[in-house]
Amino acid sequence: MKPQPEPRPGASRWFPPTATAPDATAQLFCLPHAGAGAATYRDWQSTIGGDVEVVPVELPGRGARFAEPLVTSATENVEALAGPLLERADKPFALFGHSMGALLAYELAHELVRLGRPPVHLVVSGYAAPQLSPRSRGGQVYTLSDDRLVQHIKALQGTAGEVLDHPELLELLLPVIRADYQVCETHEFTERPPLPVPVTALGGTEDPAGDDEALRGWRELTDAEFRVATFLGGHFFLHEHLDDVAGIVRRAAISQPSAI
């Protein structure tokens, strides 16, 4: 049997044990997309390398937290996560989020700024800048019928086909996806001073959330350095371009924005 990683200082239900990076000089907290959990980042540590510790975030209602109630509010998620994250953070850290994770990472960055411990960088992926109309993010997906919701998920090509074709697995997955879409589609943008944090926005060329306007809208949300990087592909472009994406977020986490 493969040995399990030892728990880390500050570990909690938010941060499952992962591969170690004992020589890391920075940390990267990774928030998942809708329907996903911490396991979506299981390969990132080996790809990014040992100088950045990858810390996937496990949200309620998935993974080892499957029995916990699902959360349908970005604010509720962020308020509950901020304290444990600051306990877990023992090095300079960056935030990364894909799709729903990008929205959570953005709101979390504001909360951490308020608490006096901002991230060194915010990397958002596959998500239109949140001040834009919700229509640019696809409308009210969380209210669709089960059949139409499955069709929507299949079109995004980010969930294994065997899961979508397996009724028992689908029965477990759909409530999580609905809750996560509700997080995004009921989120109300709050006017605040721009983040004093560099922001990098990533997107796929065939993803509506990754078009030029949607990504460059993030420019308005920071008064620090801002960059955009696009990749061939759809909403889950990062699966096909993991090495390049990992290089970008690694440089962000070790505070080398000019090299991105």
What positions carry a catalytic annotation? Answer: 99
Over the chain, what HEC string results?
CCCCCCCCCCCCCCCCCCCCCCCCCEEEEEECCCCCCHHHHCCHHHHHCCCEEEEECCCCCCHHHCCCCCCCCHHHHHHHHHHHHHHHCCCCEEEEEECHHHHHHHHHHHHHHHCCCCCCEEEEECCCCCCCCHHHHCCCHHHCCHHHHHHHHHHHCCCCHHHHCCHHHHHHHHHHHHHHHHHHHCCCCCCCCCECCCEEEEEECCCHHHCHHHHHHHHHHECCCEEEEEECCCCCHHHHCHHHHHHHHHHHHCCCHHHC
Query: What phi and psi, each to the nearest 5 degrees, are found at residue 236?
Result: -105, 40
Contacts of 178 (CB under 8 A, 6+ apart): 142, 149
